[in-house]
Chain A
């Protein structure tokens, strides 16, 4: 088993991975990603390359299914060559008690464009640790929308490096957790090249005794002038026992940049709830309307209709 980060490491101080794994009895097991729509783009094991200027019309699906008692340590590479564009739907699912430890490497060459939708249907007792490393070159765009919160213990790290001028990244996510689930989203966007734009927009809804973590950082290096960085985390507590830890950070070494961050954590507002009820809508239905409204802004980031339907269904199921 690899060395695990402990709570002394600042970015792990809210998520105790050792404690989560202690309860699991798992053995290292080989695993295979299932791919669809990717045959022509395969490049060895667990790697796809979208060739130069190729516009892939249909989304590619990559899928990793967890198996009871298994520990998966796996790496996947996605390379989008210059001028190419592709939509990738990453589906994480499984049944039983398992640990998935994933490294996802994404390289976007100049002018490349990737829409990455992360959809999670994990077992509520599993542990998932996933690190997504993205390199965004000149005028390339990384667009990611994730729906998470089904694992028992989940930690998703995003490390995005803006290495070419004019690059853009747009990261957003919904986390829906209940019971004793733990979900940690930790994002660091490194602005290394000038004239890049980045956005982080994450929302969490927490019920019961669940615990959510959002740590977001915009790190602007000294040559990254004219950086436009944005970060917002909105969180809704549906239970008095739920806990949300938020750590927004800006670290800026350039002197001509625009960066903002903001975060809110609270309960559903009583005033709109009363307004809806005063029109005859019972409290549970009124709450549901307000929750859907809360989640809508993230769902609207999805540009593919089929993916939108998939995410909508998942949200409705959770709200029920």
Chain B
């Protein structure tokens, strides 16, 4: 369970989150919608532990453990995963090496044995097939020369390999055509259940047709201002944010 209480945070001295409360129970999918500048991406970076985002008050715990006190890599090992809005290109670091390093770094931190090369490759092959990722893509450096759709599929592949408990999808729909969106949504839906939770951050209702949320929140001016069921997203699509934000 992710529990955020009265969270305030700033960047470059400018306060972006203003006392945000949010509880995501195990096995549920929550969506956060909101206008530009509401603090959606800031929330995801603050939770993932990016440098430069300063928490000035409040708490955030994952299964009872304070994540705000941890480094970014420790949060990942604790089960948190951020799917980036703009996945980063890393020339010179091969995809397979990257995935293997990440999987084993997390296992090491959790006190588990490192994965054998053969087991790793088997797992990778399975997940790769499910997501329709070509072998050739895994031979390239991380995200280098990937199309927008491939980059997002790659985020889902990492998610599938790392098997996190709490996943934050930061505007995963941005830059995706409808076919790519379906593939990404399928990948996410395949991971639903088994106690895993999602926080889906999006501008548009469209993504929520494919990843149907249990709860929808509206974020405005750094706070949750409205909460409802999946129907709230459809309502917002019609009325816009003017009434709620």
Residue numbers of A with Cβ under 8 A of B are 270-272, 274-283, 285-286, 289-290, 292-294, 296-297
Contacts and interface: CB of A to CB of B under 8 A. Distances in A.
Nearest to B90: A272
A281 B88 contact: no
Interface string B40-55: 0000000011110000
Contacts of B72: 274, 277-278
Given A280-B102, A280-B103, A282-B73, 16 more contacts: A271-B88, A276-B98, A276-B102, A277-B76, A278-B49, A278-B76, A279-B76, A279-B98, A279-B102, A279-B106, A279-B162, A280-B76, A280-B105, A286-B73, A292-B92, A293-B93
A19 B62 CA distance: 59
Nearest to A299: B92
B109 interface: yes
Contacts of A279: 73, 76, 98, 102, 105-106, 158, 162
Contacts, number: 79
A293 B101 contact: no
B73 A289 contact: no
The DSSP consensus for interface residues of chain A is helix
B115 to A, nearest CB: 13
A280 B92 contact: no
Nearest to B78: A280
13 contacts: A275-B84, A275-B87, A275-B88, A278-B75, A278-B76, A278-B82, A279-B105, A281-B73, A282-B71, A285-B101, A289-B93, A296-B92, A297-B92
B113 to A, nearest CB: 16
Q: Which of A276, A286, A294, A297 has the most CB of B within 10 A?
A: A276
Interface string B83-123: 01001111111000010011101100100000000000000
B interface bracket (residues with beta carbon within 8 Å of A): 20 to 34
Contact of A290 (B48, B71, B90): B90
Contacts of B49: 277-278
List the 5 shortest-distance A-B pairs measured between CB atoms, nearest first: A293-B92, A280-B76, A280-B106, A279-B102, A277-B72
Given A283-B71, A283-B73, A285-B101, A278 B90 contact: no
A284 B103 CA distance: 16
Contacts of A272: 88-90
B77 interface: yes
B93 A280 contact: no
Contacts of B90: 272, 275-276, 290, 293
A197 B232 CA distance: 65
A280 B109 contact: yes
Contacts of B141: 293
Contacts of A278: 48-50, 72-73, 75-76, 81-82, 84
**Residue picked from A275, A289, A292, most chain B C-beta under 10 Å:** A275
B102 A281 contact: yes
